[in-house]
Every structure is written in structure tokens, then in C-alpha cells.
A and B are shown apart, each in its own frame.
Chain A
Amino acid sequence: SQQGEEDPQALSIQEGENATMNCSYKTSINNLQWYRQNSGRGLVHLILIRSNEREKHSGRLRVTLDTSKKSSSLLITASRAADTASYFCATEAQGGSEKLVFGKGTKLTVNP
């Protein structure tokens, strides 16, 4: 299975702290994406990193990708209570595919 595995499964931090979530996957990919899901709602795309990129930034988000280890990390800096959500990585297989496979997710709680 290409499914990503996030760790930790759950993370609880205080407002202002940084949150780091990790994702591992099993097969070669075109790109890796991170999505956010507020409780019981739809997912929202956060950031995409291509297989030939190593790091990408967007606002308070920083994503890294290590294709040799088949892993990625998402760092949220200066977290806010509003960042409380579940975060999923998703991979698109190498060669291109309509099939985006989601990892198991990390439940982030940011305490005010």
C-alpha cells in the first residue's frame, strides 16, 4: 500500500509553540501534499511539495521532503488555537495518477 503513516497520532501543545508532524510513505511519488480537516468537515489543501524539492514554506508552514527516507514533515510555527484540527499527508504516485492516498493523520490540539 502507498498509504502514508503520520506520527504522532495525536499532539497537544500550548499556543505559541511549534508543532511538528511526520509522514512516511512506501512507494515513489510525484508529489506529497498536506491537508487540514476541522472536526467533521471537509479537507482543505495546505501545501504541496514535489519529489524534486526538499523544503517549501507557506506562511507559518514549513514542509520538508526526504525521498531517500520516503518521509516528510510539516512544521507549524507559532501555533494558534485556531490551528486545532487533524492534519493528513497525501501522496500522488510517480507517473501521475488521479488517485491521492491519504495517511492516517495527526490530531493537533493547541491549548490557549
Chain B
Amino acid sequence: DTEVTQTPKHLVMGMTNKKSLKCEQHMGHRAMYWYKQKAKKPPELMFVYSYEKLSINESVPSRFSPECPNSSLLNLHLHALQPEDSALYLCASSHLTGANVLTFGAGSRLTVL
């Protein structure tokens, strides 16, 4: 299995909703990432988990809450989001040995109304 699977593909939520994005990989990668990408912009790093521990938080607002239940799963819990949080959310994973090459999922397109 050489894939990173993200669900859902599309999500529409109101500003008072609570929802979650999910990411799964079975490549034995020990680092998992959340990136946010706005239209016509590069991906921006949000969080990194290494060996299931949060190692990087790029000063992301607390309305985004990451969780890594085990080495194969990564969640992003969403609460009280703003319309400007609408974006493509990309999950990625990588080995923690050698060069840091990322395998990306197809993304979750989030729209906040």
C-alpha cells in the first residue's frame, strides 16, 4: 500500500459546527503532516507528528486540533471555524530515516459558511 487516504473529500460546515478530517497510511511512515492550501498558493505547514508525538505546530489557531491516535492515523478536529479557513487540507506522511520525501493524500476540500 503506497497511498495516503483522506476523508472526507469534501466538507461543508457552519461556523458553529464541529467536524473532523481523517487521514490514514499503511506504509510504516512515522511522520505525519497537515498542510493547508488556499487557491493558487503553495501548501503551508500546520502540524507535524513524529512517532505519534506532536513535534511541530506552526502557531495554528486552537480552533484546529490535531490528533494522532496511532502511527497510521491522523485526525484534524475542527471547531468554530471562520470562512477564511476554507481551503484544501492536505495530509502527508514520510519515513523518518533518510531524506524527508512526502507522500500526500488527495486532500479534503473544506468550505466554511
Contact = CB atoms under 8 A, between A and B. Distances in A.
Nearest to B106: A42
B90 interface: yes
A96 B94 CA distance: 13
A61 to B, nearest CB: 15
A98 B106 contact: no
A102 B42 contact: yes
Interface residues of B, number: 29
A102 B41 CA distance: 10
30 contacts: A30-B99, A31-B99, A35-B102, A35-B104, A40-B107, A42-B6, A42-B105, A43-B43, A44-B104, A45-B101, A45-B103, A48-B101, A50-B99, A88-B43, A90-B102, A98-B31, A98-B33, A98-B55, A98-B94, A98-B96, A99-B45, A100-B45, A100-B100, A100-B102, A101-B45, A102-B43, A103-B42, A104-B41, A104-B42, A107-B40
Interface of A: 3, 30-31, 33, 35, 40-45, 48, 50, 88, 90, 92, 96-105, 107
Interface string B51-64: 00001100000000
Query: Majority SS of interface residues in chain B?
Result: strand
Contacts of A44: 104
B90 A42 contact: yes
**Closest 3 A/B residue pairs (Cβ):** A42-B104, A102-B42, A42-B106
Given A33-B99, A98-B100, A105-B42, 4 more contacts: A30-B99, A44-B104, A101-B45, A102-B43
Contacts of B103: 45
B25 to A, nearest CB: 12
B76 interface: no
Contacts of A50: 99
B100 A43 contact: no
A33 B104 contact: no
